[in-house]
Amino acid sequence: MTAGSTLIACRALVRRDLTLVWRRRGDALNPILFALIVVALFPLALGPEPEVLRRIAAGVIFVALLLAGLLALDTLFRSDYEDGSLEQLVLSPHPLALLLACKIAVHWFTTALPLIVAAPLLGELLHLADPVRPVLLAALLLATPLLSLIGAICVALTVGMHRSGMLLALLVLPLYVPVLIFGAGACNAAGNALPYAAPLLWLGAALVVALVVAPLACAAALRISLS
Amino acid sequence: MNVLTYWFHKLGSPPVFDRLARVLAPWCYGLALVLGAIALYGGLALAPADYQQGDAYRIIFIHVPAAWMSLFAYIFMAVNAFIALVWRIKLSEVLAMASAPTGAAFTFITLVTGSLWGKPMWGTWWTWDARLTSELVLLFLYLGVIGLYHAIEDRRQAARAAGFLALVGVVNLPIVHFSVNWWNTLHQGSTVRLLGPSKIDAAMLWPLLLMALATHLWFFGTLLARTRNGLLEIDGGKDWARSIVLASQPGAAGAATERSHV
Amino acid sequence: MSPLTEISRPPLLEARGLAFARNDEPVFGPLDFVLHTGEVVLIEGDNGSGKTTLLRVLSGLLTPTEGEIRLHGAPLTLDLLSPQVALLSHANGLKPELTALENLRFAAGLHGLRHGISPPTALAGVGMDGYADVPTRRLSAGQKKRVALARVLLAPVALWLLDEPYANLDPEGIGLVNRLLENHAHRGGAALITSHGAYAYTSGTPRSIPLHARPARDLTGEGRPRGDGLPGHSLGDDAGLSPARPGTPP
């Protein structure tokens, strides 16, 4: 297969997945609504004191977005598996890892990016300190693709199961721990006027590695699941 | 044929492994119990009390070997999962999955003894110490592997999928440890450590090492027994497995012979 | 029957001692057969005899437990296989939200396009030209099957693996499938199709590969099927040696 035809295949896949999201655009708002509700629960549980909320704001937003992303993960391969397009993808003459990378990218673009856009609004609800906001956005921009890539491996492993929701959370969340620590850690460091570059750089380095390795791992996991 | 590959293939065949495991497993259990008892006596009775922590430190004779085993079992599982995925060796699949529950149990013991030790030392049952937090994540990794293994019906596919997850976890584990350490310094957690770089008296060292040996033997004992069970389950339709099951259940012999003539 | 033709040219597809086991319980095989270009071969067997599994093994989705598959005489690898095989399985591989034409355009992008055909002409070729802009979820089962057949028609491959292509189709649709198969055989392609026997490839006398259902698990509770010592699951010699027999044109 030539590189040109692979490019055509990737473009066809991206266009199809974007069209599908557009046709089901009612569902696209759900992750944002979920994150909004989770964030709104914290002042209700902890009380409305701005000082308390400001201290936990970045961490709560991070966790809320992580959980919203976790719920959205299930849609990554679910419908493709059920209608048989996933096996057509596996049977295509192009590198499966590359096609999966396209799928993950579209998924990130349509589920995680809206969440990042909504993050400043969530920050206002929790009185997020002004100097933390850019750090939070940078951390989310680096962390959410990482979460999508790691999550995709686990989704690929559970793709054949009927009710995989809880199991998927059990598989994914331990792997999310370092991302959460560095992402929320950078925000907390910024909130305490400490240097925050190091954790962001770690996230960036991890993202570069994951961009290369995770689609390959995802393809291998998918082949195991489909066998 | 190369001698090494010959033995590799020979040991990889389920009937041969079954015979070996049947002989070795009781020895592992027996030796583990004897050595463990000696180590406990050495640790609890013979070793002197710590000048700082008094007698409370003695829990390390359980805690530390269990912590070592929790990591050892995970690495053992990951190595076998790798072999199983690359060379598709059935025995390695079963070995990897057989080591998961024992490893999870050791991790659980580590967490419980760690928090027990934390009560007299720190005054709380749980502290977000870097090592304890890493162990907690390790426990979740184990539970994820076990959960995935039991969620898939096809045993061999389940072993491959769970083994793949174990491999992802083994990449993640050092990162978790590193990140948790970083997080711990950021939040200035406790400075007292269960496993500090402090010098250790020889009278405390030998029971510790002996206990480590005992836990290894126990691990291999359970591993052999579990693997035997797993192989019998997968190979249940094959002749060697049937003959073993029939030999252990004299009552079932008649029924099975009858079936084989259908 | 004597092995007299096609000796110089390696067959399109060749299976030797091919067997697949799930959970170490045999699903089919060992099987030996060859498929030459210009041939349409029917895989016959009852429910549960492993027809679908056989097609999935041949498509490369499943790795055979034993035996070997050769494509044009060369041992099979997935890289070699995927540009040469189109699979139609029970799940049609169509997105219900997309129109028939959009589905085909995506398939053409993913698998490539056969020379001299385009998504609209393929749709017309399966008698669905009026439905190009209808979302697939509004089509009936038989119409979906036709769109899926159009997808197979588009792919620039020699080997078609069609699982129950006649299912859900009306008599006219069955005739259509037969025509598509004949044309494909004439341009030098080959196809393996499964059927549980209700409908069959009617033109010419297609060769068939019989698959036998495994005896069901015994229900005594111990539940161990006897995987060993069951004779007679391989094909007769006839199937392996018969020369190419393309379907006779009507």
Alpha helices in chain C (DSSP H): 51-59, 78-81, 100-111, 119-125, 141-154, 171-186, 237-241
| Residues B159-184 pLDDT 10s | 999 999 999 999 988 898 888 888 87
pLDDT score, position C6: 44
pLDDT in tens, C186-234: 888 899 988 765 555 555 556 777 776 555 443 333 333 333 333 333 3
* ipTM > 0.95 (yes/no): no
Alpha carbons A19 and A17: distance in angstroms, whole number: 5
- Report how far Cα C225 is from the mean position of its chain's Cα atoms: 28
Contact check, Cβ <8 Å, A164/B183: no
Q: Which CATH class name applies to C13-213+227-241?
A: alpha beta
Contacts of B104 in chain A (CB under 8 A): none
Three-state secondary-structure class, residue B32: helix
Model confidence band, residue C73 (pLDDT cutoffs 50, 70, 90):
confident
Would you place residue B259 in the very low, low, confident or very high pLDDT band (cuts 50, 70, 90)?
Answer: very low
Interface of C with A in 100-159 (CB under 8 A): 102, 105-112
Residues in chain B: 262
Q: Report pLDDT for C169.
A: 86
pLDDT (0 to 100) of residue C9: 67
> What per-residue confidence (pLDDT) applies to B248?
75
Which of A9, A15, A226 is nearest residue C61 as measured by Cβ atoms?
A226
Q: Is B200 left (phi over 0), alpha (psi -120 to 50) or beta?
A: beta
C-alpha–C-alpha distance, residues B205 and B208, integer Å = 5
Q: Taking CB atoms and an 8 Å limit, are A199 and B144 in contact across chains?
A: no
Which chains would you list as touching A if contact means 3+ CB atom pairs under 8 Å? B, C
Average pLDDT over residues B60-66: 90
- How far is it, in rounded angstroms, from Cα C65 to Cα B260? 25
**Averaged pLDDT, groups of 10, chain A, 227 residues long:** 84 94 88 94 92 92 94 90 91 92 95 94 93 95 96 93 85 94 93 91 96 96 89
- B58-61 LR contacts (CB < 8 Å, sep 24+): B59/B113, B59/B116, B59/B117, B60/B117, B60/B194, B60/B195, B60/B208, B61/B207, B61/B208, B61/B211
Q: What is the pLDDT of residue C46?
A: 78
pLDDT band at B123 (very low <50, low <70, confident <90, very high): confident
* B257 is a domain residue: no
- The verdict on a CB contact (< 8 Å) between B180 and A164 is no
- Nearest CA to A151 out of A117, A113, A84, A100 is that of A100
Rounded average pLDDT over C161-188: 88
Q: What confidence score (pLDDT) does residue C136 get?
A: 92
Rounded average pLDDT over C10-21: 85
Give me the residues paired with residue A163 across strands: none
Name the helix (H) or strand (E) containing B162.
helix B155-187
**pLDDT level of residue B71 (50, 70, 90 thresholds):** very high
pTM to 2 decimal places:
0.85
How confident is the model over B97-104, as a mean pLDDT? Answer: 95
- Which residues of chain B approach chain C closer than 8 Å at the C-beta? 154-156, 234-239, 242, 255, 259-260, 262
Cβ contact A159:B135 at 8 Å: no
Residue C90 CB contacts under 8 Å (≥ 6 apart), including other chains: A84, C52, C163, C164
* pLDDT digit string, tens, across residues C24-49: 778 887 888 888 888 888 888 777 78
Contacts of C118 (CB under 8 A, 6+ apart): C108
> In the predicted model, is pLDDT for residue B192 greater than 50?
no
- Say how far apart CA A89 and CA C182 lie, in whole Å: 27
The DSSP symbol for C222 reads S
What are the CA-CA distances from residue C216 to residues A6, A203, B101, B255, C25 (Å)?
45, 54, 33, 18, 11
pLDDT of residue C246: 38
Tokens representing C201 are 């490839």
> In sequence order, what DSSP letters do the residues of A123-142 get, joined into one string?
HHHTT--TTHHHHHHHHHHH
Domain count, chain B: 1
- Number of Cβ atoms within 10 Å of the Cβ of C35: 22
- Domain chopping of chain C, boundaries: 13-213+227-241
The answer, for C66 touching chain B at a CB cutoff of 8 Å, is: no
pLDDT, mean of residues C67-73: 83
Q: What angle do CA A109, A113, A114 make, to 5 degrees?
A: 115
| Residues of chain B neighbouring A201 (CB-CB closer than 8 A) | none
C85 with A227: Cβ contact below 8 A: no
Q: Which of A157, A181, A227 sits opposite B183 (nearest CB)?
A: A181
Residue B131 burial by CB count (10 A; 0-12/13-18/19+): exposed, middle or buried? middle
pLDDT tens track for B216-237: 999 999 999 999 988 888 887 7
Domain that holds residue B58: 18-233
Q: Tell me the count of B-C CB pairs closer than 8 A.
A: 27
Sign, CA dihedral A25-A28-A34-A39, equals: negative
Distance, in Å, from the CA atom of A48 to the CA atom of B101, rounded to the nearest integer, reads 45
A1 at the C interface (CB within 8 A)? yes
Q: Where are the domains of chain A?
A: 3-226
